[in-house]
Structures are given as structure tokens and as C-alpha cells.
Amino acid sequence: MEYYAGLDVSLWSCAICVVDGKGTVLHERGLPCGIEEIADCLAEGTSIQTNSGAAPVQDIRSGDFVQTKDNGLKEVLWVGKRHIHRAELLRFHQLRPVLIRPGFFGDHGPLLLSQQHRVLVASDQLGLSLSCREAFIKAKHLAEYVPKAARVANGKTHVSYCHILLESHEVLFSGGIDSESMLRGAMALKGMPRRVHQPFQSRSALCFSSCHF
């Protein structure tokens, strides 16, 4: 008996269908893959500090250890990846990456982040009035309110995003900039395999004492 599998993919949903040689549907399943799941992501090529030095984010695997700002080395529990093609970037501006301009936050090169990804900055670095010494600020807000620090990379024709999930929400050393690991909230859990997020469903997402912008 021969079997055939078909995959239907759009920005909003994915569906897989298995049929036999007579066209009888044997298995059919839908999977979510919406815009809201492109949350806190680093673009492929970003270097991450690990226990053995800097490594490209796309080379990091579950079981590796990354260096965090506050809690030393932490084990990577899961790494997620998604490639965004030109057609999606043209149609959905929310998917376009933000370019952090080289050198704005110190000795670092250019850095590409998803619009929802947050970087940790000191209040005196931005010239803005903040209620705390440090703040997590979304990349899209840096581009909107501090254009000398960042801009939306509208010219990109494709981008690959990577998530790094740790046991707790941490600050990573990403391309010379302090940025967040994947925040295990409701939005992020929707885009994760069930076997990964099930152990965390009974826990509340970790809240940070830092202020948010």
C-alpha cells in the first residue's frame, strides 16, 4: 500500500494530511503558526556567549550552556527556529527585523532582532525619561522612539529567527548587547511543541523587577 503526505503552509496556519492510494484521508492535523508567535527572537548569525565562547545562535542546541548576565551558565532547554520568506516580509510589516545600529550601546556590531524582542538598556543611554535605572525595551520601540539606535530593516528579503528557552527568563550576551532569552508566556507557549511546554503550563511566567517600555 502506498501513502501520500501533503503539507499546506500559510502565515496563519499549517496543516498536514496523509492519504492512501485511493485518496482516503487517513490522518489530518492543523498546527498554529501565526504572526503572534514571532515574539522574542534573535536573527540567525547573532553570536551568543556560551560556556565555550561565542557561538552563532543557529548552532546552539538543547543541552548546551549559555552565559547569563545575572545567574552564570544556564542550560538550554529548547531552541526554536523559523524562516520568514520575502513574500511574508512584504505583506506583514510586523515580521520585519529591527537592526540595532553598530556601536550605539558600546563596542558591538549590527544586531538583527524580531520587533518584539527586548534589549536591556541603561536609562542614560537613550536620553529618555525612565522610572528605573535599567529597562527592557522592545526592538520596535527603539526603532520608533530612538531612531539613532535602531531602525526597521525594510530592505531584508528573508530572515531566520531563533528562540532560546532556558529554565528561567534571563539576560543573554547577544552580539555584544544584553538581550532577553525566550519569555515563557502564553504567546510563546502557543508556538512550542506540546512535549516542551507541558512541564511549564502549571507555572506562571516569571516577572522581572526591571521596568518595561
Give the model's pLDDT for residue 183: 81
Closest CA relative to residue 36, chosen from 95, 78, 99, 85: 95
Ranges of the chain with pLDDT below 50: 9-13, 31-32, 35-37, 186-187, 199-213
* pLDDT, tens digit, 9 for 90 and up, residues 108-127: 999 999 999 999 988 777 76
Grid cell listed for 138: 522592545
Structure confidence at residue 66 (pLDDT): 98
Question: What is the spatial distance between Cα 201 and Cα 3, in angstroms, rounded to a whole number?
Answer: 36
Q: How many residues does the chain have?
A: 213
Q: Could you please report the per-residue DSSP string of 8-25?
A: EE-SSEEEEEEEETT--E
CA distance to 80, 81, 112, per residue, from 48 (Å) = 15, 15, 13
Residue type at position 7? L
